[in-house]
Amino acid sequence: MTEWFRDECPTAFFTKNRMGHWEFAAKDEKWNQGFNEAMAADARFVSSILVREYKHVFEGLKTMVDVAGGTGEVAKALAGAFSWLKCIVLDLPHVVAGMEGSENVRFVSGDMFEFIPPADAVFLKWIIHDWGDEDCIKILRKCKEAIVDSKSNGKKVIIVDIVVNEEKQAHEETETQLLIDVLMMAHYPGKERTEKESAKLFAAAAFKNYKITPTLGAWTIIEVFP
């Protein structure tokens, strides 16, 4: 940590490895596999709750892009539970290499900063907290481009992430969120945000409205509307 404080590297991870998290994952196959497996386990847990308790969030949608969706666990669960929904999983080449799709799930290799395939909705799970404000705005603008031509009345961006609210939530929830904030600081250039901080990002990306639903303990569902 002392070395990190002395240099100008964006994270402690970068100071140690001389490259960022995503670049490191692309170069180290074993580490990348372990990270993807951990994210897949988390995705299975989250998607089980979404399917069981939050069906209404996905009603009216015919297509959805799971941005940085990894091995596609969320997309597979949602497409399997909701027969009307077709999903695209967008992630970097080293993540989706060898992934097999199905009738309702398709894998696409790409960079979310450059292009997101068009759909009725874009799904972002644990994405926004990985990035600084400027990059978040870039991602959200690409999300809006992806849904702007949708004919669905319910077109939106669906975010699963942390919204810090120390005044209204239990101490244990805030403690968990702040511990994750420290993890973000060490590994990524992002952070956990309050509702006010999140709303500024949505406005900067030209979204008109949003709805927050506290649901997954320390995590929250945010629906953002163009």
Q: Give me the active site residues, please.
A: 129
State the distance between the two ends of the chain, measured CA to CA, in whole angstroms. 41
Amino acid identity of residue 64, one-letter, is M
Element (H, E) at 87: strand 86-91
In whole angstroms, what is the distance from residue 155 CA to residue 150 CA?
A: 7
Element of type H or E holding 26: helix 21-27
Which one-letter DSSP state was computed for residue 10? S
User: What is the distance, to the nearest Å, from the Cα of residue 176 to the centroid of all Cα atoms in its chain?
Assistant: 18
What 3-state class would DSSP assign to 219? strand
Query: Which residues are within 8 A (CB) of 38 and not within 5 positions of it... i.e. 6 or more apart?
Result: none
Residue 145, helix vs strand vs coil: helix
